[in-house]
Amino acid sequence: MFEMNGEVDVKMKKKKKIKKKDRLEGMKKEMDIVSVIHKTRRRESWREYGLTSSKAAEVLERDGPNELLPPKGTPEYVKFARQLAGGLQCLMWVAAVICFIAFGIEFSRGTLGCFDDLYLAITLITVVVVTGCFGYYQEFKSTNIIASFKNLVPQQALVIRDGQKNQINAMDLVVGDLVEIKGGDRVPADIRIIFAQGCKVDNSSLTGESEPQSKTPECTHENPLETKNIAFFSTTCLEGVATGTVINTGDRTIIGRIASLASGVGNEKTPIAIEIEHFVDIIAGLAIFFGFTFFVVAMFIGYAFLEAMIFFMAIVVAYVPEGLLATVTVCLSLTAKRLARKNCVVKNLEAVETLGSTSVICSDKTGTLTQNRMTVAHLWFDNVIHAADTTEDQSGQSFDQSSETWRSLARVAGLCNRAIFKPNQESLPIPRRIVVGDASETALLKFTELAIGNMMEYRERFKKVVEVPFNSTNKNTLMLSVHELEDPMDLRYLLVMKGAPERILERCSTILIKGQEMPLEEQWREAFQTAYMDLGSLGERVLGFCHIYLNENEFPRGYKFDSDEMNFTTSGLCFAGLISMIDPPRATVPDAVMKCRTAGIRVVMVTGDHPITARAIAANVGIITEGSETVEDIATRKRIPVEQVNRRDARACVISGGQLKDMSSEELDEALRSHPEMVFARTSPQPPSSPPLIIVESCQRLGSIVAVTGDGVNDSPALKKADIGIAMGIAGSDAAKNAADMILLDDNFASIVTGVEQGRLIFDNLKKSIAYTLTKNIPELTPYLIYITVSVPLPLGCITILMIELATDIFPSVSLAYEKAESDIMHLKPRNPRKDRLVNESLAAYSYFQIGAIQSFAGFTDYFTAMAQEGWYPLLCVGLRSHWENVHLQDLQDSYGQEWTYAQRLYQQYTCYTVFFISIEICQIADVLIRKTRRLSIFQQGFFRNKVLVSAIVFQLLLGNLLCYCPGMPNIFNFMPIRGQWWFVPIPYGILIFVYDEIRKLGVRRHPGSWWDQELYY
Amino acid sequence: MAKDAEKSTWKDFIWNSRTREFCGRTGSSWGLILLFYLVFYIFLAGMFCLTMYVMLQTLDDYKPTWQDRLGTPGMMIRPRGQAMEISYNTTNTETWDMYIKTLDNFLSPYNNSLQAEKNEECTPDQYFIQADSGDVKNNPKRSCQFNRTFLEKCSGLDDHTYGYQAGKPCIIIKLNRVIGMLPGKDGQAPFVTCGAKKEDSDKIGEVEYYPENGTFNLMYYPYYGKKAQVNYSQPLVAIKFLNITLNEDINIECRIISNNIPPGSVRDKFAGKVSFKLRINTKG
């Protein structure tokens, strides 16, 4: 065994050399090694003695503790540094450095106002650092969620060392340790079973299969995941006891390897990340382009090098939307918060939007589409199929329970049942109570509890004498028990039996019809066959029930029943009926699937179940719609061989795991393309060829944005590969949650639809926010361009620009995230990630060249007004710059012949900044109002419906007033208390923006597809 | 391969010969959009002109709408020197010649003959108010004479070097023009007083002011703006350093003393005061 580990180590080293792409292949090879391991010789002596403590310590030293190490993350400081080094951030660093240099030079010259440069540099750095911290915190918080999940279950293990049983921390387990597990324990490492008694494990955390697997010492399969003698780390032992030796610990366990495989699968960039990157690149490029152009122009005009550098810096500051990344982050986290309230926890913020652009959802069946609990769905007695209530809250219709046969059937179902409720759950509704027992017995117990009442007490009354349980090892597919009757006077025994219907029927000679025992004639046999087929075709698991009153004389009180010898009647029984069970779909799912369909999203079901069950559920929830046929359906209908059916005629398709394995990727692509309704059934859970992963890759090849739901560890590669991985909060394993971008706390498929809706809404709203944010860059930029080219006194300062970007305009741009959808977004097709960009040409053109231009004119009007009313006529301003900024000129004449000192002119310049600022603010209020809608008239959308937006406008005005009129502002942020009249100068332009946009929207609505629509709709 | 494809898409973007598109638009598409923007900007420019026109209509030709920044008038000296630093060498004519020229130029409009020709003699020690009667403007407004001879020894008439050669330089101080400013109440005229900064206080020596006491006579106020009062002669005060310490930097500050001019902003070094540095060298 140790040699084997050595080999594994060599393999691991080799693996590091293998490129990430080849890791899947590497994984396959490693699996082979595991299958070799389980065949290695046993060492009988360990069975009693185990390892010695010293040996264990030695191995522990060598292998490290038995725990899953989180995937090796990038160091924290690197993460933080990355947040500080984005495209825009780098530009801001450059701007800050230029500011520092300018400050240094000007300070040494003793220029008045040189500290502005220092403040600006500090502000710029603060902005970069604060946004960085913000982003870092988001990232940190999302990893923190996982940490909290991980710490939920502290593990203990019962280990035999030095011949003694010890309870130790599972972390200290080493390869070769002898461990004991019993029902309720989590398997503390990968172990090979050497002794088992009725041991069943729940592999759902690993493979997603909810069926318990029995574990025995025999090696039954080549594949380690299929063989019965290996139990896996992190799975749960449901019942029985087992002893085994540890064959792998920590990251070398199957689960550990899958996790490390998952971390190796490249995480796809989210569509929104691609959008934002694309857009930031353009902005940064344009900023450098503008800055450099005007640097050259300034040098050419004859400005000093330092001045030209300051211009460059100022243009960068003016053009870069500093607040944008923060706005986007805040908008996304608002939606994430909203989703969290609806049970979707978003780990990766950008995933919020991804869900909106999703075009295919690969959904796991168990637990997501279905309730993940077997429930009685149908009963057959009195030759009629009755439907039981399968809803989660028992709100559905129940069947007629007056028949005598029903009572007998219920009695059999209730008595021939080993499942029991865990104690102290009386306050819980019956369906929610926790039961000890297998799935079908649980279903029957809950069903009878609901139908008859307190089953525990009921069973007390019919005292159990003997029972022969299901036993898969001796192929006994029946279960029977013998009970005393509740009536103490009646001394007969009652034998009740359940099992596979055909086997039950074999043992029966009579049948209960309307309470009367009738001979089992051919007519009833045929009726039974029809009912059995019908229920089977619904994908339900059918059980037959029968009973017999044992003859009082033959079996008197005190008769010794022997479960091994079976010394009692087991034939000639009386057939009571059939009960069929299914894991029913969640009530909300059919509706949600329907919504997905109208929203243009394909739902593909992936399940480990039998194709018939899978199909039935798919049809039930609407994944396969009514009237859709599979190739096989058409073949049966037309009575022709399957090969002759035109595959394109079939809308639906059920592909089993075996077929999938044999398909080439082209065939799979073709199948996905030609059949809109797809179900993948009986998919083998083996990870290297994990079906979801293949399906995801195929869908992505076809250009879809794929969402994948999953809970098992084996799903984690697919979760990671998917554009958005959705893990289940309740059933999901840590590895799945770690790999996923989103976690559904209630495991409910319907929550995904909510997510889709929110994702689409946030895409629309982000568009609006960005359009709003971008608009003001033009009125921020033009003052510099005019300043450089026409040499007017500077209309707008850098610090003022930063105040707009980072203070007054943040709240309104965020408030757009609260805007309601303009149309029914769930009736539109998912956006095409290649065509429907977040920031497209017309959005930029409309914001920059139209609304931005209007705002610039508003700013200049107000600027010239403020200048003229204080004594500086517009024509005098032109070319005034060199005199205006001459520090030694203390008696510059204005248009009226008055003389101004430098400081007076500087404060006048600050007044201009403030006036320009106010103009932008007024126009931005109009802007935020028009951005509420892209197509509808604002009167249709409602002015005050978005309360947050209204308060944002109020906030913006208050903040503007504070900046203007708070004492001390002139020398801190270069804001001056301005004349009230100047607030009103830009209002005509605000109205113009509003009216113009209403005209635009009217044109867009009236003439869809016209030139106007194409050019002006963003 | 991929690179080639990329290249060709770039080229295609700039000029796609198949669809005859330049930068993603055909000629007619470009024409339409440019026409749209032309119309749009003409409209905007029109609106801008209109608002500017309306704004300009609101302005008074004779008095600015607001004088928010001019509460405390600035003060300035002549000659200004390099960055408020006057330093020269008595023995080297070239070092002070430019100061003389500046002063000559500056004072030439104050020549008595010119003043007599353009301005009139007013009653001293009281404001020379020329009110408009309602809408009828009382324009042009007359100005009072400020004769160069008022500056006596600093007028440059007797001593063409304004005392620079002798190491007893004259500095002329003026108060910035502000329309409508009345710089003293109760008939008390504002005056200039100069002193050295702390450590230099014993080096400044004796200072003489012209006109007497360094006052700005009230009759020169108020100022009615360059349009209404074309020939306004700004009153001046000259100071002459009689025995200033030579060969040393001396920091001098002059301030206006008035009973109704508020002290200027701390940050404005030239509001109601003026500081400069004087250095007179005697050694070659």
A869–B contact, CB cutoff 8 A: yes
Give the residue with greater pLDDT, A812 vs A302. A812
Q: How confident is the model at residue A470 (pLDDT cuts 50, 70, 90)?
A: low
**pLDDT at residue A921, as a whole number:** 95
Distance from CA of B178 to the nearest CA of A (A): 5
Q: Quick: pLDDT tens for A422-446.
A: 888 878 888 778 887 777 888 888 8
Q: How confident is the model at residue A670 (pLDDT cuts 50, 70, 90)?
A: confident
Cα angle B36, B39, B44; round to 5: 120
**pLDDT at residue A476, as a whole number:** 56
Residue A879 predicted with pLDDT over 70: yes
The answer for A231, left when phi > 0, alpha when psi is -120 to 50, beta otherwise, is beta
Compute the distance between CA of residue B70 and CA of residue A632 in angstroms, rounded to an integer: 94
Q: Measured in whole angstroms, how far is the alpha carbon of residue A492 from the centre of its chain?
A: 59
Least confident of A733-747, A760-774, A868-882: A733-747
Residue A71 predicted with pLDDT over 70: no
Asked if the Cβ–Cβ distance from A907 to B69 is below 8 Å, we say yes
- Residue A744's H or E segment, with its range, is strand A742-744
Q: Out of B47, B56, B178, whose CB is closest to A868?
A: B56
CB contacts, 8 Å: A907 with chain B? 69, 265
Asked if the Cβ–Cβ distance from B268 to A869 is below 8 Å, we say no
Q: pTM of the entire structure?
A: 0.81
A913–B contact, CB cutoff 8 A: no
Asked if the Cβ–Cβ distance from B44 to A971 is below 8 Å, we say no
User: Which range, A683-697, A810-824, A854-868, B162-176, has the best average confidence (pLDDT)?
Assistant: A854-868
* CB A375 within 8 Å of CB A387: no
Residue A806 predicted with pLDDT over 60: yes
Asked if the Cβ–Cβ distance from A868 to B55 is below 8 Å, we say yes
Sheet with A724-728, edge to edge strand ranges: A344-346, A742-744, A724-728, A706-710, A360-364, A602-606, A677-681, A652-656
Q: Out of B59, B232, B274, whose CB is closest to A869?
A: B59
Q: Measured in whole angstroms, how far is the alpha carbon of residue A773 from the centre of its chain?
A: 29
A965–B contact, CB cutoff 8 A: no
CB contacts, 8 Å: B55 with chain A? 861, 864-865, 868, 985
Asked if the Cβ–Cβ distance from A903 to B269 is below 8 Å, we say yes
Residue A475 predicted with pLDDT over 60: no
CB contacts, 8 Å: A897 with chain B? 177, 179, 223, 225-227, 232
* Residue of A864, A904, A997, A1013 for testing the chain B interface, max B β-carbons within 10 Å: A904
Least confident of A163-172, A772-781, B183-192: A163-172
Compute the distance between CA of residue A327 and CA of residue A335 in angstroms, rounded to an integer: 12
Least confident of A101-115, A398-412, B80-94: A101-115
User: Which range, A150-164, A498-512, A853-867, has the best average confidence (pLDDT)?
Assistant: A853-867
What is the chain B residue with the closest CA to A909?
B69
Least confident of A143-147, A534-538, B96-100, B209-213: A143-147
- Residue A480's H or E segment, with its range, is strand A478-484
Distance from CA of B147 to the nearest CA of A (A): 21
Asked if the Cβ–Cβ distance from B76 to A971 is below 8 Å, we say no
Phi, psi of A426 (to 5 degrees): -60, -30
Short-list A692, A728, A731, CA closest to A265: A692
Residue A23 predicted with pLDDT over 70: no
ipTM summary value: 0.93
- The CA-atom distances, in angstroms, between A354 and each of A134, A339, A357 are 21, 13, 5
Residue B213 predicted with pLDDT over 60: yes
| Partner residues linked to A545 by β-bridges | A498, A577
Tell me the pLDDT of chain B averaged across its residues. Answer: 87
Asked if the Cβ–Cβ distance from B267 to A871 is below 8 Å, we say no
| Partner residues linked to B75 by β-bridges | B175
Averaged pLDDT for residues A365-384: 83
**pLDDT at residue A28, as a whole number:** 44
Size of interface A-B (CB pairs under 8 A): 127
CB contacts, 8 Å: A1011 with chain B? 32
Q: How confident is the model at residue A43 (pLDDT cuts 50, 70, 90)?
A: very low
Q: Quick: pLDDT tens for A514-547.
A: 888 888 888 889 999 999 988 888 888 899 999 9
Q: How confident is the model at residue A401 (pLDDT cuts 50, 70, 90)?
A: confident
A849–B contact, CB cutoff 8 A: yes
Compute the distance between CA of residue A321 and CA of residue A776 in angstroms, rounded to an integer: 9
Residues 874-903 of A with CB under 8 A from B: 874, 888, 890-891, 893-903
Q: Measured in whole angstroms, how far is the alpha carbon of residue A333 from the centre of its chain?
A: 14
Residue A885's contacts (CB-CB under 8 Å, 6 or more residues apart) are: A793
CB contacts, 8 Å: A890 with chain B? 74-76, 176, 270, 274
Asked if the Cβ–Cβ distance from A871 to B274 is below 8 Å, we say no
What is the chain A residue with the closest CA to B76?
A890
Asked if the Cβ–Cβ distance from B69 to A891 is below 8 Å, we say no
**pLDDT at residue A265, as a whole number:** 59
A985–B contact, CB cutoff 8 A: yes
Q: How confident is the model at residue B64 (pLDDT cuts 50, 70, 90)?
A: very high
CB contacts, 8 Å: A873 with chain B? 56, 59
Q: Out of B47, B59, B62, whose CB is closest to A992?
A: B47
Percent of chain A with pLDDT over 70: 88
CB contacts, 8 Å: A902 with chain B? 268, 270
* CB A496 within 8 Å of CB A416: yes
Asked if the Cβ–Cβ distance from B55 to A865 is below 8 Å, we say yes
Short-list A1010, A1001, A909, A917, CA closest to A964: A917
CB contacts, 8 Å: B80 with chain A? 888
**pLDDT at residue A139, as a whole number:** 67
Short-list B108, B183, B89, CA closest to B148: B108
A868–B contact, CB cutoff 8 A: yes
* Active site (annotated) includes residue A364: yes
Q: Quick: pLDDT tens for A202-235.
A: 776 666 565 677 788 887 777 676 677 888 887 7
**pLDDT at residue A94, as a whole number:** 86
CB contacts, 8 Å: A992 with chain B? 47
Gyration radius from chain B CA atoms:
30
Strands (E), A601-665: 602-606, 652-656
Residue A338 predicted with pLDDT over 60: yes
Q: Out of A868, A899, A979, whose CB is closest to B176?
A: A899
Q: Quick: pLDDT tens for A702-729.
A: 888 899 887 776 777 788 888 888 888 8
* Residue of B143, B176, B261 for testing the chain A interface, max A β-carbons within 10 Å: B176
Compute the distance between CA of residue B261 and CA of residue B71 in angstroms, rounded to an integer: 8
Asked if the Cβ–Cβ distance from B64 to A850 is below 8 Å, we say no
Compute the distance between CA of residue B30 and CA of residue B21 in angstroms, rounded to an integer: 9
**pLDDT at residue B5, as a whole number:** 44
Distance from CA of B212 to the nearest CA of A (A): 25
Asked if the Cβ–Cβ distance from A898 to B177 is below 8 Å, we say yes
CB contacts, 8 Å: A911 with chain B? 68-69
Q: How confident is the model at residue B100 (pLDDT cuts 50, 70, 90)?
A: very high
Q: Quick: pLDDT tens for A242-251.
A: 888 888 887 7
Tell me the pLDDT of chain A averaged across its residues. Answer: 82
Q: Quick: pLDDT tens for A722-743.
A: 888 888 887 776 667 777 888 8
Residue A189 predicted with pLDDT over 50: yes
* CB A574 within 8 Å of CB A510: yes
CB contacts, 8 Å: B40 with chain A? 850, 853
**CA distance between the termini of chain B:** 80
**pLDDT at residue A13, as a whole number:** 41
What is the chain B residue with the closest CA to A873?
B56
Q: Out of A849, A853, A870, whose CB is closest to B69?
A: A870
**pLDDT at residue B16, as a whole number:** 76
Task: Say what angle helices A777-790 and A902-930 make with each other, to 10 degrees.
Answer: 150
CB contacts, 8 Å: A891 with chain B? 74, 76, 174, 176
Q: Out of A857, A911, A985, whose CB is closest to B44?
A: A857
Distance from CA of B59 to the nearest CA of A (A): 7
Q: Out of A888, A896, A903, whose CB is closest to B84?
A: A888
Residue of A185, A190, A364, A711 marked active site: A364
Number of other residues whose CB lies within 10 A of the CB of residue A287: 25
Asked if the Cβ–Cβ distance from A868 to B265 is below 8 Å, we say no
Compute the distance between CA of residue A366 and CA of residue A711 in angstroms, rounded to an integer: 9
